[in-house]
Each structure stands twice: as C-alpha cells, then as structure tokens.
Amino acid sequence: MPTSASTISTWLLDSFHQNKTHIRSLLYSNAISSIHLSFDLWTSSNYLALLAVIAFWVDESGCIQHALLGLPRLLGSHTGENQGQLLWQLILDYGLQDYLGYFCLDNASNNLTALHFLSGGYSALVPDSIQFNTAQRYIRCYASNQNEHHTIEKENRDSEVWRKIGPLGKLRNIIVWIRNSPQRRE
C-alpha cells in the first residue's frame, strides 16, 4: 500500500527506469537490424504536449520488435528544432546514434525540420550530430495522413455548423481553437 502521496509516482519512475534498462539491453543484445524510429507530437487530456518516440527493430529470430523509448514533455514552441533536441537527448540516452535506420512520420513540416536537426543540419547546436540524408531516411506514414485528412474535414464541417449559429457559434470556435493547443494555453 502507498505510504505517502508520492509513493505511486516513485513506483512509476522506478518501473520506468527498470524497463528502460531492459529495453536498452534488448536493443544492444538482439537487434540484428538498424533501429528505426517513429515519433509524433500529441496533446494529452490534461493539455500537455508530449513527444512519443517508438523504436522498431528486427531481433535475432527475425521478428519485428518495438518499444516506447520515451514520452518527454515538449515545452514552448512546437518547432522541429525543439522536437529535434528532445529526440537527440533520447538517442544519446539510449546510445542509438550509430544504429539509426529510417524514420516513419506524418507529413507535418516540423518533423522534417527535426530530421534536419538530427542529420547535422544544425551541427553548431549539436556538435556530435549524426550525418544522413533526410530525404532517403524519411518514410511517410500513410495511415496517419489518411486519418489527418478525415479529421480536418470533420473539424471544418463542425466549425461551419457552429459559425452559422451566429456570435455564440463563433465564440465556441475560438474557444475550441485555444483549447486544442497546449501552447496557446501556456
């Protein structure tokens, strides 16, 4: 049983560090392929901007494996440079800089900027950055692009319906716009 208000958060952090050690050992001991990454910025239900970073690799038995490497909070602007800095910290933390393969991402422009950051395009900021051709290593996530297209269509229809109601509908649209971004809430 928890003995204080911080017990559960301590348990979660301990579990995270144990699993991180286990994932690190899996990546080094049984990965026979490059380590491929997928990352995406999303907003939690309590309006925190989080960058989910997932690694994919092929193990010794030829099976595709995957693991969540981290879910760091992105503070400030959602630029590719900020995302690239968080990614670089994770890559260094796991020691993956010499093992990176491809990046499967949606088509947000800041994702390409993050890849340029990683590939040495910003070597003044990241002296030990790795060198690779972003055009060759970037794979667009088809499902993400399809989902984004349908979501935007639905949001546009909803916005138009509310706008027709008048000033109250316009106010509602403004509130939704503000609430949809943790940046605008900060």
Shared domain check, 153 and 134: no
Structural domains of the chain, count: 2
* Confidence at 184, pLDDT banded by 50, 70, 90: low
Shared domain check, 94 and 170: no
Whole-structure pTM value: 0.70
Q: Identify the residue whose tokens are 């595709």.
A: 64
Task: Find the range with the poorest average confidence among 52-56, 88-92, 93-97, 149-153.
Answer: 149-153
Shared domain check, 76 and 60: yes
Shared domain check, 87 and 20: yes
What's the token pair of residue 159? Answer: 């916005």
Shared domain check, 57 and 33: yes
Shared domain check, 126 and 163: no
Higher-confidence residue of 49 and 126: namely 49
Using an 8 Å Cβ cutoff, are 130 and 110 in contact? no
Shared domain check, 57 and 11: yes
Shared domain check, 50 and 133: yes
Nearest to 53 by CA among 66, 69, 64: 69
Domain housing 112: 7-140
For the segment 69-82, the average pLDDT, to the nearest whole number, is 88
